Amino acid sequence: AQKITQTQPGMFVQEKEAVTLDCTYDTSDPSYGLFWYKQPSSGEMIFLIYQGSYDQQNATEGRYSLNFQKARKSANLVISASQLGDSAMYFCAMWREYNFNKFYFGSGTKLNVKP
Amino acid sequence: DVKVTQSSRYLVKRTGEKVFLECVQDMDHENMFWYRQDPGLGLRLIYFSYDVKMKEKGDIPEGYSVSREKKERFSLILESASTNQTSMYLCASTPGASGVESQFFGPGTRLTVL
């Protein structure tokens, strides 16, 4: 079965420091993608970053980077220079190419940024 | 600006009522999805649709049905609401079967069943 695991239910980080949110996945498909979403307290899901299984380089989007270790099946999100507005729930998700674009979500990590 | 809208942000219903949650997207997307979100469980797929009048069960379809009569609209129906269906419901869409695109999400409907 396809599965996404986020082992950190909650985390604290000091403002301006970097933080890593863990995500491991389980699939035997050759072609898949990994996403990270942010969900503020208002509830909307915001797309942050994407990594394809065939991508050679780690994805980066501004202060977000994805540490993709294919052999370990991990796709950790790194947020550099944390800001108070980064306080939110963060979800890791996996997409499989051969299954109607279904997405599989982890249970989420609640990040709190302290001033 | 692309958009996925949901008919209500908050909804309170009584046990046994029939409940309709509506989702509309203006991006001409092929695929639409309904999730429920519960603390500690993340998002779980209820149903999805890859075309008008086409639907597939997700991981937790029991107690729910869906309808997609028009491409832009995907409705989630609770035939007889129960208290264990109190949850946040999120609708999402993606362009189509080719390539990979992030899902676009609606703002969510927080449903309380009393």
Q: Could you please report the per-residue DSSP string of A44-66?
A: --EEEEEEETT-SS--EETTEEE
DSSP A86: G
Residue A57 has phi, psi (to 5 degrees) of -105, 150
Reply yes or no on whether the pLDDT at B60 is more than 70.
yes
DSSP B102: P
- The residue behind tokens 């989630």 is B76
pLDDT score of B103: 85
In tens, the pLDDT along B68-92 reads 999 999 999 999 999 999 999 999 9
- Pairs of residues, one from chain A and one from chain B, whose beta carbons lie less than 8 Å apart: 61
Q: In B, residues 16-45, which contact A (CB 8 Å cutoff)?
A: 31, 33, 35, 40-45
Whole-angstrom Cα distance, residue A99 to residue A38? 24
Whole-angstrom Cα distance, residue B97 to residue B94? 9
pLDDT score of B91: 96
Contacts of B102 in chain A (CB under 8 A): 35, 47, 50
Kindly state the tokens that stand for B112.
Answer: 């309380």
What are residue A4's DSSP bridge partners?
A25
Reply yes or no on whether the pLDDT at A102 is more than 90.
no
Q: Using pLDDT thresholds of 50, 70 and 90, give the confidence band for residue B95.
A: confident
Whole-angstrom Cα distance, residue A73 to residue A28? 10
Mean pLDDT within A79-105: 89
Is residue A104 within 8 Å of B44, Cβ to Cβ?
A: no
Q: Is A35 strand, coil or helix?
A: strand
DSSP B39: T
pLDDT score of B1: 65
Output Rg (C-alpha) for chain A, integer angstroms: 14
Reply yes or no on whether the pLDDT at B99 is more than 80.
no
pLDDT score of B73: 97
Amino acid sitting at position A11: M
Mean pLDDT within B9-34: 95
